[in-house]
């Protein structure tokens, strides 16, 4: 069943609630976190540009006093956008900036306690040296025409260490996460998908016991993914593979075959599980 | 499995179906309540929902346990895992209301964080004044030192070649225009430096120490220029009105950075991670406070100093503000926090 996507198992973390249940939190992947950050930065830049233009427009007709007032608003606004955008959103109920929310991420305390304001401030103030310092440093120097090779290399190296820091530790912690005691987890909202088997099921095929002994739970759940995604290519491939392996004839209805096989295999594995024979995969 | 056709059609074939039928309503109700809490707050829940929440949460959590052990429907398990995770963070990770966080910050969070950093703060203050003295004596003995300490742009003519009258004018001239803008600019600029001083502490505190050192050198260099023309008391007043607050704030944010660097370099008995987290949170609180102090300093510098030109009054204001900060941080009796 090579065609379906295998869930990455490296991102699951044990997280026991006070009730003693392991929630198996899934950490945000480096890619989605980077994407979330880029979305946030683009939003900040867009707001800054729009606000600057709007303030310019307003400032055209006013007196010096008005201009001063607008300049103050701009300075404070830019400062708040740069330093408080991340913190204020993460302190809110969802624990996520708009970018993180779009990618289904949220910030939580590693110990499972509530996320305090100080932790949020710590993790975001650290961003100053991770991203803004090398960027503004380079920008300053290149404006003045002073950005020689050494400085560029140094700035790249510096930001490289911090940018790739999440890739070099087990829990994908950013420097800010490390200092603040937080981590970023997947927290998506999902609807309960339809019951695949259901009560109105009527089996049209039966399978010999030998055909049901071929696979374990892992293969069953991979088959579940194939059936839910309904990708025609995958269905054809998987059906052919199972038929070949079980030595069953091709009846031309791939989806129906897989569906019946899924139900039969599920019932078979479940019955075994109930008597203590849990079979994790075909190798077990 | 050879006789599946013998089953009547309405009997569920697998556990997942049975399980879904029995509990789906509970899960969906929990989903609805949690979604509402995420969108608005716990306040927006009706009394019934509020009462139902704990038991729905526990039901769903036990559904998850049971589903993992008895069901092979991965979509169901994933759904329950996600729902339980969202509910967990709404129930256990619940936010303290913003106003309570804010009062907590001023009543105990900020002063106790600053108090906890007293050693590092003392070190930064000593470093600032040590560096200032060093720069002062260097420049008094050989004024050319000034140019190696202060970049051209920062001096704005206030260098050893300036006349006493010109220097005096920089201390007392009013810049009525753009006064507020100037104050705001100073505030944002200094705050950015305070945040850097905090964040740079991560590199084992070395850059933070350098930053504080340089700050002290600048201070001493300017003082030496004015003192050479007999303007020492005047420049003291000019610096003190806002400087007591500003230098203190920079020292505190430097102390915050040093605390992080030390916690990572020398964690002591605690694991390095825990040590870093404890230091990081205390330091972040102190740094947020330093930004507030710098806003006060910006007001004093941009507005207070421009309107008050008497040296005595400038010094008086500067010392009063300093005493106020000191008593707030170190003398205020703190009651233990119950919230954070």
Q: HSE of A267 in the Cβ direction (CA atoms, 13 Å)?
A: 24
* Residue among B160, B257, B276, B144 at smallest CA distance from B211: B257
> Helix crossing, B232-265 with B118-141: angle to 10°?
130
pLDDT digits (tens, 9 = 90+) for A163-208: 788 888 888 888 889 889 898 988 877 788 777 776 566 667 788 8
Sign of CA dihedral B181, B105, B262, A33: negative
* Residue among B292, B320, B294 at smallest CA distance from B109: B292
pTM of the model: 0.81
For residue B9, the model assigns a pLDDT of 53
Phi, psi of A108 (to 5 degrees): -135, 160
pLDDT digits (tens, 9 = 90+) for B101-121: 888 889 888 999 999 999 999
B198 touches chain A (CB under 8 A): yes
Chain B 209-268, residues with CB within 8 Å of chain A CB atoms: 260
B195: nearest CB among A18, A115, A125 = A125
* Residue among B169, B147, B296 at smallest CA distance from B234: B169
- Rounded to 5°, the CA angle B12-B15-B18 comes to 55
Residues of chain B with pLDDT under 70: 1-12, 94-95, 153, 174-178, 335-340
CA distance B2 to chain A (A): 6
Structure letter (DSSP) for residue B330: I
For residue A18, the model assigns a pLDDT of 82
Answer yes or no: are the C-beta atoms of A175 and A130 closer than 8 Å.
yes
- In the numeric block, the tokens 């949460």 are attached to B57
What does the alpha-carbon distance between residue B159 and residue B139 come to, in Å, rounded to a whole number? 11
Structure letter (DSSP) for residue B161: T
- Sketch the domain layout of chain A as residue ranges: 12-186, 209-274
Mean pLDDT of A18-26: 85
Q: How many Cβ atoms sit within 10 Å of the Cβ of residue B42?
A: 17
Structure letter (DSSP) for residue A128: I
Q: Which residues of A touch B82 (CB under 8 A)?
A: 187-190
Chain B 91-120, residues with CB within 8 Å of chain A CB atoms: 92-96, 98, 101, 105, 109, 113
For residue B204, the model assigns a pLDDT of 83
Residue A131 burial class via C-beta count within 10 angstroms: exposed 0-12, middle 13-18, buried 19 and up: middle
For residue A64, the model assigns a pLDDT of 72
Structure letter (DSSP) for residue A25: E
Sign of CA dihedral B328, B330, B331, B332: positive
Residue A4 has pLDDT above 50, yes or no: no
- Rounded to 5°, the CA angle B235-B240-B241 comes to 110
For residue B174, the model assigns a pLDDT of 66
Computed over every residue of chain A, the mean pLDDT equals 82
For residue A29, the model assigns a pLDDT of 87
pLDDT digits (tens, 9 = 90+) for B188-201: 888 888 888 888 88
For residue B317, the model assigns a pLDDT of 92
Residue A231 has pLDDT above 80, yes or no: yes
A-chain residue closest to B8, CA distance: A202
Mean pLDDT of A232-237: 88
For residue A275, the model assigns a pLDDT of 86
More confident residue, B182 or A42: A42
Beta bridge partners of A22: A16
For residue B272, the Cα-to-chain-centroid distance in whole angstroms is 21
Q: How many Cβ atoms sit within 10 Å of the Cβ of residue B229?
A: 17
Residue A45 has pLDDT above 80, yes or no: yes
More confident residue, A114 or A97: A97
B17–A199: do the CB atoms touch at under 8 Å?
A: yes
For residue A258, the model assigns a pLDDT of 87
More confident residue, A167 or A87: A87
What does the alpha-carbon distance between residue A29 and residue A166 come to, in Å, rounded to a whole number? 10
CA distance A198 to chain B (A): 6
For residue A211, the model assigns a pLDDT of 84
B202–A175: do the CB atoms touch at under 8 Å?
A: yes
Banded pLDDT at A115 (limits 50, 70, 90): confident
Answer yes or no: are the C-beta atoms of A177 and A242 closer than 8 Å.
no
Beta bridge partners of A12: A26
A270–B284: do the CB atoms touch at under 8 Å?
A: no
Residue A22 three-state SS = strand
């Amino acid at each position: 069943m090579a065609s379906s996507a295998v869930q990455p198992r490296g991102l699951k973390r044990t997280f026991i609630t006070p009730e003693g249940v392991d929630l198996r939190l899934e950490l945000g992947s480096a890619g989605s976190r980077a994407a979330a950050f880029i979305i946030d930065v683009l939003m900040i830049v867009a707001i800054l540009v729009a606000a600057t233009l709007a303030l310019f427009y307003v400032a055209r007709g006013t007196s010096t006093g008005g201009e001063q007032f607008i300049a103050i608003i701009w300075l404070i606004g830019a400062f708040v956008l740069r330093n408080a955008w991340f913190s204020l959103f993460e302190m809110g109920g969802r624990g996520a900036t708009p970018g993180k929310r779009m990618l289904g991420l949220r910030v939580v305390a590693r110990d499972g306690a509530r996320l305090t304001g100080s932790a949020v401030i710590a993790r975001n103030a650290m961003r100053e040296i991770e991203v803004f310092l090398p960027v503004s440093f380079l920008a300053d120097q290149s404006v003045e025409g002073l950005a020689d090779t050494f400085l560029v290399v140094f700035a790249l190296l510096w930001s490289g260490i911090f940018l790739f820091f999440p890739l070099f530790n087990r829990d994908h912690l950013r420097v800010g996460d490390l200092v603040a005691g937080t981590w970023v987890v997947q927290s998506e909202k999902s609807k309960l998908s339809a019951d695949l088997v259901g009560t109105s099921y009527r089996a049209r095929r039966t399978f010999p016991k030998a055909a049901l002994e071929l696979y374990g739970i892992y293969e069953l759940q991979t088959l579940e993914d194939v059936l839910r995604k309904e990708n025609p290519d995958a269905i054809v491939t998987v059906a052919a593979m199972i038929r070949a392996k079980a030595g069953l004839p091709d009846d031309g209805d791939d989806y129906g075959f897989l569906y019946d096989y899924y139900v039969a295999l599920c019932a078979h594995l479940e019955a075994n599980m109930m008597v203590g024979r849990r079979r994790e995969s075909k190798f077990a | 499995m050879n006789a599946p056709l013998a089953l009547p059609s309405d009997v569920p074939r697998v556990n997942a179906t049975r399980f879904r039928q029995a509990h789906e309503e509970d899960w969906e109700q929990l989903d609805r309540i949690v979604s509402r809490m995420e969108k608005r707050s716990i306040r927006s829940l009706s009394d019934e929902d509020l009462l139902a929440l704990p038991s729905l949460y526990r039901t769903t959590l036990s559904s998850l346990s049971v589903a993992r052990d008895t069901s092979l429907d991965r979509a169901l398990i994933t759904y329950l895992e996600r729902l339980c995770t969202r509910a967990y963070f709404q129930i256990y990770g619940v936010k303290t209301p913003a106003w309570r966080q804010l009062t907590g910050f001023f009543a105990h969070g900020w002063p106790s964080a600053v108090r906890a950093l007293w050693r590092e703060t003392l070190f930064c203050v000593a470093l600032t004044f040590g560096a200032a003295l060093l720069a002062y004596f260097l420049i008094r003995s050989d004024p050319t030192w000034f140019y190696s300490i202060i970049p051209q742009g920062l001096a704005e003519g206030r260098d050893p070649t300036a006349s006493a009258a010109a220097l005096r004018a920089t201390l007392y001239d009013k810049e009525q225009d753009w006064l507020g803008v100037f104050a705001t600019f100073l505030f944002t600029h200094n705050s950015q430096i305070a945040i850097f001083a905090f964040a740079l502490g991560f590199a084992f505190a070395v850059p933070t120490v350098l930053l504080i050192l340089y700050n002290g050198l600048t201070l001493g260099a300017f003082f030496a220029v004015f003192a050479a023309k007999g303007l020492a008391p005047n420049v003291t007043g000019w610096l003190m009105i806002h400087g007591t607050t500003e230098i203190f704030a920079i020292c505190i944010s430097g102390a915050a950075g040093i605390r992080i660097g030390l916690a990572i370099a020398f964690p002591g008995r605690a694991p390095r991670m825990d040590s870093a987290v404890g230091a990081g949170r205390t330091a972040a609180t102190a740094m947020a406070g330093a930004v507030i102090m710098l806003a006060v300093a910006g007001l004093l510098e941009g507005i207070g100093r421009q309107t008050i030109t008497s040296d005595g009054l400038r010094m008086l204001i500067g010392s009063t503000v300093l005493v106020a900060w000191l008593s707030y941080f170190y003398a205020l009796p703190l009651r233990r926090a119950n919230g954070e």
